[in-house]
Structure formats: structure tokens, C-alpha cells
Amino acid sequence: MKHVVLAVGLGIAGVLVLAQPAWAAASVAPPIPVGVAPNEVTFSPDGTGAYSANSGSNDISVIDVASGTTVGLPIPVAAQPVSIAFLPDGSAAYVASNGGTVSVIDTATASVIDTIAIASASFIEITPDGATAYVASFATNTVVPLDVATGVAGTPIPVGSGPTGLAISPDGSRLYVANTWDGTVAAIDTATNTLIATIVVGPRPFQLTVSPDNSEVWVAVGDIDALAVIDATTLETVATIAVGQNPRSVTISPDGTTALAESYFDNAVTVVDVTTRVVTSAISIGLNPVYVQFSPDGSRAYVAVAGDWTIGVILFDPALYPQPGAPALARTGENLGILVPIAGGLLALGLVLRSRRKHSNP
């Protein structure tokens, strides 16, 4: 049964005052329907496309970024696809599936060309040189290095309990691993594939990202509704930033100024100024968002919205707004709002009209 909810008022779904100048002018574009329960969405290296890992329908949706639509039929993969990483040249995408495989997709033909067994694969990242894919194996408490040229898995690297998220430093020298059950982040030297530090961040860290300048690691820590910030030099936690309820992921804009973290129970994306570590706004996005990622050029962010079976779209480039030259109108089919210039910022007036699907919380 569908329930229609109309919400008007103060807060995430109502009135927000957004500080300027950092990303104040943002517009929510129409969401992109994908498969069942998208768990992650990942942009191609050139930013023209994106793949959605649909864990409920066991397939990958291919998105054309310019048109904001899916193209072709979904690509079938192994059970419960949860994470995607592209080769640097965009020629292939690697998909980690909880069912115990990594599927290799030829992006030119949109077809699976290889399947590699990796037990309980929960996340995947590829080094900047494209030589190695690292796969988190949740049940074995290890990270498995995968030789991209040969497709052969190397010796598993022991980490903490329940590795869920991975992030590779921009220079490729470090791999960071979020250990969900330990409340820690493991730092690995990729030259030797050895553990060099374990950093306490708080209960249930999910995903993490490295700042573009390689100076910090930001971690979404679900059970404390916060982002933990790790100094990449000292490998110590130096800050904790309160955000929305149960953040699962965090992404930093290419220019290093803005962080976004989705809030699963708030149905929103929190915006954080990276320099001041202050929350500047929250953007209503849909039912149970689980992953957010900036595009390579920073012009937009995509959000995997598990409960609505959509990819939410947040635009940061005014040239992309639905009505150039006018106050930015945000209309998603679920959200309707307008950004009105006021002294010191923008006033976001809005309402939400949402048809909710029944969705179980993890």
C-alpha cells in the first residue's frame, strides 16, 4: 500500500537557510529510476556516465549523466551487487557482490566478461594506476588484492572485523579500510600490502574517503551520527562532526571545499564545509539514502536512494539548473522547492510530496 505524505515547515523538508558562498546555490534535479534497492552509484572517470549497483535486483543500471536517464537494459551480475570501481581509462567496471564474486564489465559492450570468486565481497577500489583492485571481504575480515592484468587474487590482508568501506589515497600509496564491527579504520601500505596503523573512529564506520590533497581521511560513523576526520600524516582521529542520523558514506568535492554525507533515517544529505568542519545545510533527497558521490568535475552529486529505487541528483553548477537566470527550482517528483536570495545566503522554501515504498532497515 502506498502512503502519500505532505510535509511543509521548518527543517530538512521545509525551510533551510544556506550559508554562502560554499555550494550555497544547489538545485535538486529529477531523480533517476534504477533497479531494486540501489546500494551504490559510481561515476565513470570522465564523468559522462555512472553505474548503479542494484542489490535487490542483482543488476547494474547504466546512467547517461547529460540526459539524467538510464540507457539500455540493466546488466545482470552475481547476487547482491554492492560496490563498483572503474579502471582509470573507463574501459571496464569491477562490481563486488556479497554473494562472493567480482564481476568485470566491458563498458563498451555493457556485458560481463569475467567473474572472479572473492568471498563475501563488500566493497571494491582500484589504484590510480589501474594495476590493482582491492576487495573487502566482510566475512573473512580481510582485504584481497586482485591483479587487474591477470585477474588473479593475491594473499588476503588481515584487517579488523567486518571490513565494509575502502578508500585509496590520490597518490595510490595508502589504502584505508572501515572495519564496521571494530569501530576502527585500518591503514595499509599499498607498496607492501601490510597494515601500518589501526585508528579508532567510533561504532559502525561504513564508508570513507580521502581528501583531494591527501591530508585527511573522512569516515561516516553510523552509530554516533557523525563524520570522523583522520589526519593522514599522524594517523590519528582529530575531529568528529555531528551530521544526520546514521550516515553510511561521505564524499568530498574535487576542489576540497565541501563534504556531503547522506543520512539514512533523515532521508537527506548533509552539507559540511571542509575547512571549518561546520554543517551548512541539509538537502531532502528521498527514502533511505545509502551512498553519495560527487562527480569528477564537482558539478553534481549522485545519491543511491535505496527506499525509492532511484538515484537522487543534486546540482552544484548554476548552468545546469532547470531554469537558468531564475531562482533555482527543485522538482524531483517527490520534492518541490525554491531557493530565494536573502541577506547572507539563500532561503530554501519547500514541501515534500512522497509516495513511500515499504523498505526494511538494515
Q: Give CA–CA dist 61/73, Å, rounded.
A: 7
Kindly state the cell numbers that stand for 175: 589504502
Asked if 97 and 103 touch (Cβ cutoff 8 Å), the reply is yes
Number of Cβ atoms within 10 Å of the Cβ of 70: 18
Asked if 239 and 254 touch (Cβ cutoff 8 Å), the reply is no
Contacts for 295 with CB less than 8 Å, ≥ 6 apart: 43, 47, 65, 301, 302
Residues in the chain: 362
CA 37 to chain centroid, in Å, comes to 14
pTM of the model: 0.84
| Residue among 247, 238, 181, 184 nearest 211 (CA) | 238
Mean pLDDT by 10 residues, the chain (362 residues): 33 35 64 98 98 98 97 97 98 97 98 97 98 98 98 97 98 98 98 98 98 98 98 98 97 97 97 97 96 97 98 91 48 36 36 37 38
- Alpha-carbon distances, residue 342 vs 17, 25, 147, 176, 211 (angstroms): 9, 12, 54, 42, 32
Q: Tell me, what's the pLDDT at 26?
A: 74
Q: Which burial class, exposed, middle or buried, applies to 186 when counting CB atoms under 10 A from its CB (0-12, 13-18, 19+)?
A: buried
Asked if 299 and 310 touch (Cβ cutoff 8 Å), the reply is no
| Residue among 137, 228, 238 nearest 185 (CA) | 228
Q: Give CA–CA dist 188/226, Å, rounded.
A: 24
What's the pLDDT tens digit per position in 98-133?
999 999 999 999 999 999 999 999 999 999 999 999
